[in-house]
Amino acid sequence: MTEDLRTLFPAIKIKKDEPLSNYTYTKTGGPGDWVAFPTSVDQVRQLVDYCRQHQMPLTNLGNASNLIVKDGGIAGLTMIMTEMNTIKLDGDNVIAQAGAAYIDVTKFARDHSLTGVEFAAGIPGSVGGAVFMNAGAYGGETKFVVSQATIMLADGTIQVLNNQQLDFGYRHSAVQDNHGVVLDATFSLKKGDHDAIAAKMEDLNARRRAKQPLEYPSCGSVFKRPQGHYTGKLVHDAGLQGYTVGGAQVSKKHAGFIVNIGGGTGSDYQAVIKHVQETVKAKFGVQLETEVRIIGRD
């Protein structure tokens, strides 16, 4: 690919051979061949159309919180949606663009005395990522509050999928299957008491601060919860807390997290994940599946 996308799309902020470690929550990852920051649906369509027409791989990172980018970086075009972050009110609905922070949606809802999304007060992902992964915490899930989402498919067409069509499951949605790009989501909430909403959010955030290693870069929860078990307890009971490869370490504060204690790489993370999976399988017969997405070139 010899064409310079910066010349082809002068209105779109695009970087070449950009280190993705600048954007991932783990502070790891090699370069993206091209990294674009669209600010509108039209810009997203231009990029999607170009990739389709030129058979260029397209990767959508949202805000890169719950993923690990390998050291070889990402081929083709990587879209980071954080410039599309508008949040607006429509009755008791909150409509948020894909790049808006989930945390900002919860604050917006609180400020308008709308209840239902407090569980997400500390989830670091974007709205697009939350829909893509059906993000959840403290008994709440995105599927309980999102009534519809606007998706752009690989052929450039736009669909509005309702809650049922989004086919939410545990850390799953239809967007993973149709390879679409989330453009926005509508959160259907209920009127509530502002002070009660604020208190619940503060309580959940206090619990998160007490339990989770927020002082280090991490990708959040690494493994899905296996049926009948708690991941953190399995990893703790396997004696793996503090296990370190390079700069990646099983958190000493919460065994379900792998943190970057300094200079960690995507390969370090992959090595720690593999060792944890093998050890837990050998000791307890439980296969831990990754919740975090691991993408890119080796």
Sign of CA dihedral 115, 118, 124, 125: negative
3-state secondary structure 16-51: EEEEHHHCCCCCCCCEEEEEEECCCHHHHHHHHHHH
The number of beta carbons lying within 10 Å of the beta carbon of residue 14 is 21
Give residues with Cβ within 8 angstroms of 164, minimum separation 6.
Answer: none
Active-site residue (options: 251, 267, 291, 293) = 291
Give the three-class secondary structure for 257: strand
DSSP conformational letter for 126: B
- Please give the single-letter amino acid code of residue 121: A
Q: Are 176 and 295 in contact (CB under 8 A)?
A: no
Structure tokens at 110: 């609180």
Q: Could you say which of 21, 221, 251, 267 is catalytic? A: 221
| 221 catalytic residue (yes or no) | yes
Residue type, position 164, single letter: Q
Q: Is 289 a catalytic residue?
A: no
Q: Residue for token digits 């998160």?
A: 208
- Is residue 147 part of the annotated active site? The answer reads no
Q: Both tokens of residue 72?
A: 């070889």
Considering only CA atoms, which of 151, 133, 153, 150 is closest in space to residue 141?
133
Query: Token pair 């296996």 is at which residue?
Result: 226
For the record, the structure tokens of 102 come out as 């989930």
Q: Tell me which residue has tokens 């599927």.
A: 143
d(CA 100, CA 228): 34
- CA angle (104 as vertex; 259, 204 as ends), nearest 5: 60
Q: Out of 18, 171, 173, 251, pick the active-site residue.
A: 171
Catalytic site residues? 171, 221, 291
